[in-house]
Amino acid sequence: MEEKIEKIERFLAVCEELVTGSYLAAEVKISDALKEIAASRELRHLFAAVTDGYDYPAAKRAFLRTPAERGAGRIAAYLPAARQDILAYVFCLFVEFDAGTMHLNDFLLRYFYIDGSYTASYSVFAERMIKPFRDIVKECFPECGKRGQLALKRRQKEDALAKFAAALPAERNRIAGRELREEERANAEVLFGELSAATGRRDIDEVRALLAGYLYFLRYIGGECAESAAFFALAEKL
């Protein structure tokens, strides 16, 4: 369940980057969006369903206006009314852009012309076409709302804890290899023993409290270095 949510969330994150990001990165992000669809069984099934029997050439004729048809207006591209047709239409546009059978820059200046600016034209395209497309996909997967976000954050915390636990022995060995007084060595062992136990219990609050003490201990023995900085960087993700 969590893996399913993560894949859909990654796709939605790419769509968000397409809506809010730069024209310069758009072609790469469109390709990324299609890769995320390919990686997700749920998204593959969704787009297979909406494109089954969909007449994309007819849709292009209906929703992409020629210069003669659009008159004085500069915006010449429109979306279908039905939600499933919006999904199919924008998906097919993405496939064309990615395949190179239609170039994004030509499309923008032909159908979203804003003062000859790719950036301005892309902003209108993203707002009028990609944003509704993203929102419909999001509504198709309500589990990727608050509950999905919480599940994803929980998974990220678990991954961070596992990486921190794996780094503990190396940091312990690093300190053990230093020249320390017997009292300092004993204190280090107590600290690492408690850190290992708290990590095993997944007691993040205690881990953070012990790390605060460990930081002062490091400064006392002059043990701060690049390795300790990397160790504390892992701890910041807990």
Per-residue pLDDT at 28: 95
Q: Give the least confident one: 67-81, 85-99, 104-118, 123-137.
A: 67-81
Helices (H), 117-181: 118-125, 131-140, 146-176
Summarize pLDDT for 20-65 with one digit per residue, the tens: 998 999 999 999 999 999 999 999 999 999 999 999 999 999 998 7
pLDDT tops 60 at residue 106? yes
Asked if residues 8 and 42 have their Cβ atoms less than 8 Å apart, the reply is yes
Per-residue pLDDT at 175: 94
Per-residue pLDDT at 147: 54
Q: Compute the mean pLDDT over every residue in the chain, rounded to the nearest whole number.
A: 89
Per-residue pLDDT at 238: 85
Per-residue pLDDT at 164: 92
Q: What is the pTM of this model?
A: 0.61
Per-residue pLDDT at 47: 97
How large is the average pLDDT for residues 111-136? 91
Per-residue pLDDT at 9: 87
pLDDT tops 60 at residue 67? no
Q: Give the least confident one: 6-15, 138-147, 197-206.
A: 138-147
pLDDT tops 70 at residue 152? no
Biggest CA–CA distance in the chain, Å, is 88
Per-residue pLDDT at 30: 97
pLDDT tops 90 at residue 89? yes
Give the burial string for 128-143 (b: 16+ CB within 10 Å, else e). ebbbbbbebbbebbee
Long-range contacts of 41-46 (CB under 8 A, 24+ apart): 41/4, 42/4, 42/7, 42/8, 42/141, 43/7, 43/8, 43/11, 43/137, 46/87, 46/137, 46/140
Pick from 41-45, 66-70, 113-117, 200-204 the range whose average pLDDT is largest: 41-45
Percent of the chain with pLDDT over 70: 91
pLDDT tops 60 at residue 151? no
How large is the average pLDDT for residues 208-224? 93
